[in-house]
Chain A
Amino acid sequence: MNNPVQPYPCKILGVKRESEHEWTFRVACDARPQHGQFMQLSIPMIGEAPISVSAQGDGWLEFTIRNVGKVTNVIFEKTAGDTLFLRGPYGKGWPIEQFQGKHMVVITGGTGLAPVRSMLNAFAADPGYVKDVTLICGFKNEEGIVFHNELEAWKSQFQTIYALDNDAKEDWRTGMVTAFVKEIPFADWGDDYAVVVVGPPPMMKFTGLELVKCGAKVENIWMSFERKMSCAIGKCGHCRIDEVYVCLDGPVFPYAVARDLVD
């Protein structure tokens, strides 16, 4: 009988320190997740945690992890050559076929950038896939900034607004991402755009409200959720919100669904 929760061993190829608490682990793995899907990272004797795939290539996946829990703390002790156990990929990723040929808006808060990073890199590698990309990234402070190299590279390919919540930084703006939503020219784009939002729940809630206030259509917005999970296959119940399971129906939801979900 097939066991959908059986993890398989994968070698860590390298570890990159993005910030003090957020490191990226590159792992040898042949899985080809959709952009925005997640995998269960599993450590024997410790436990499992759902982590979104932050980049992928031939034979490898990257996970950008914050060391805030018992599983992630143990992962931080691992180095290249060590083994991580994986299962997945799980869930529904970004519906990129619906984004094709459109003006693309990506708004992230903190490490919310990780679940859109592989999609952004795909847009950067294939400039004709979407018309253009407007990227708004907010971080709490300078220490929280991740993916420094990519943020720099995306400046030349995308329309970018990078911001710190309260602090000043050269060439960066100061303020919450919601403050910059009004600069997006939705009125010039007709119906020809798509918006994705990822970040902490309050950031997504207020960004959604601000987007609609600034003229974005509800049906053109998607969000990615993060919830506690044990199984990632719709059995354990931890991630259920109303009649949806974040592990099965998400983590990416159309805003029309996401805005009415009550935990």
Chain B
Amino acid sequence: MSYILNTQQADQVLGALAQTYGVYAPKRFANQGRYSATDCIRYDKVTRASEIVWQVKSDYPAKEVINPIQQAIFYFTEDEYRASKCKEQPILIFARPCDINAQKIQAKIYAGNGGFTDMYYERMRERVKFVLMDCNGGDDTCFCVSMGANTVEESDYAAAVRFSENGMEVQVVDPELEPYFAGCPESAFTPAFVTENELKVTIPDLEDKEVRLALKKHPMWQEYNARCVSCGACTVACSTCTCFTTRDVIYGDNPEVGERRRVTASCQIAGFDQMAGQREFRATAGDRMRYKVLHKFHDYKARFGDRHMCVGCGRCTHRCPELISLSATINKVNAAVEEIKAGMGKV
């Protein structure tokens, strides 16, 4: 069933949902942006529809709700490891198709890879229902259509919404959400999907092993040694990046009590691959960029088969302090691949 709600009704419904669910959506954090007097838009708990930022894409992805930047995984008391507990409350996440598709990608790693299911991911993910936010086209860094991440199936969401200045239209799919909309005016709303982005990316053809090995040695990566500052902002903003590290913390001045934390890690930051007493395998920004880009556009798909590890959300481009564009990088990869293939007589 679909409904049309004015702003007051939308706030009331969100308020009621927030009584049962932890409702997470993109929210504006005033003056927390990257430049002075700019805002940051990231996921947080909301209790009113008017708190939700729908006009523009969030700076940070929905993954933060399911995989926080840091979380305690064990508490230590002397010689005891006690796994951290998790709230039982169900969760509703308002997300665009890119972010919903990103969770399918994260699940392949966290809840399947090698036959191991990560308890900390799974216990969050199984409580999550998505509310699809009708995407109004994103911005000039988006290329979801090129990545096939512009649409989702009806089975991927519990409800779909289209916000406007006057309120929101909703299609309720999950019967558990129906009671919250009882008495609201009905409509014929169904979600629409972006069918074309301003930005289009051609996915590089990296099937040929020899071409791939040559690409890894191509001088194009060295350009990033001068440009990339290895800050990791791209991977934190990435909708799909999953990497983390563990860090033990001692509480205050009592060395017998503490916790083991899982903290977001980045393959772009020096030391990501460094073992104790040994040199880094990827010692330059160019090596690390090559590693990331090939994971996104070849390695993930080679392992899991279904799709690439990029949903074209453009957040990495958006957040890069050095203005490195992923789509421009992919264009460079395409040019390098053509050059390599021509050199090998494989065109």
List residues of A whose CB falls within 8 A of some B CB: 1-7, 9, 42, 44-49, 66, 68-72, 83, 85, 201, 226-228, 230-231, 233-238, 240, 242-245, 247-248, 260, 262-263
Contact = CB atoms under 8 A, between A and B. Distances in A.
A243 B295 CA distance: 8
B16 interface: no
B281 interface: yes
Contact of B247 (A3, A47, A238, A242): A47
B246 A260 contact: no
B79 A238 contact: no
B69 interface: no
A237 B242 contact: yes
A235 B275 contact: no
A224 B137 CA distance: 49
A247 B118 CA distance: 15
B252 interface: no
Contacts of B273: 227-228, 238, 263
Contacts of B37: none
Interface in B60-116: 73-74, 76, 79, 81, 83, 109-110, 113-114, 116
B275 A228 contact: yes
A209 to B, nearest CB: 16
Contact of A227 (B121, B275, B277): B275
Given A228-B274, A233-B118, A6 B83 contact: yes
B282 A263 contact: yes
Contacts of B245: 230, 236, 238
Nearest to B76: A44
B272 interface: yes
B246 A234 contact: no
Given A44-B76, A228-B274, A230-B246, A242 B209 contact: no
B113 A234 contact: yes
Contacts of B213: 260, 262
B302 A238 contact: no
B267 A44 contact: no
Contacts, number: 123
Nearest to B272: A238
B255 A235 contact: no
B122 A236 contact: no
B74 to A, nearest CB: 8
A188 B119 CA distance: 53
B285 interface: no
Interface residues of B, number: 51
30 contacts: A1-B119, A2-B117, A4-B117, A4-B119, A5-B73, A6-B83, A9-B79, A44-B74, A44-B81, A45-B258, A47-B247, A47-B248, A47-B260, A71-B276, A230-B244, A230-B246, A233-B114, A233-B116, A234-B113, A234-B116, A235-B116, A235-B242, A237-B242, A237-B265, A242-B294, A243-B300, A245-B114, A248-B113, A263-B282, A263-B291
B113 A260 contact: no
A46 B249 CA distance: 8
B81 A1 contact: no
Contacts of B81: 6-7, 42, 44, 85
Nearest to B256: A45
Interface centre among B81, B258, B302 (most CB of A within 10 A): B81
A242 B213 CA distance: 11
Given A1-B123, A45-B250, A228-B274, A237 B116 contact: no
A237 B190 CA distance: 39
A236 B120 CA distance: 12
A7 B248 CA distance: 14
Contacts of B303: 243-244
B76 A45 contact: yes
A72 B278 CA distance: 14
B243 A260 contact: no
A260 B214 CA distance: 11
A225 B299 CA distance: 19
A248 B119 CA distance: 17
Contacts of A228: 272-275
A201 B274 CA distance: 13
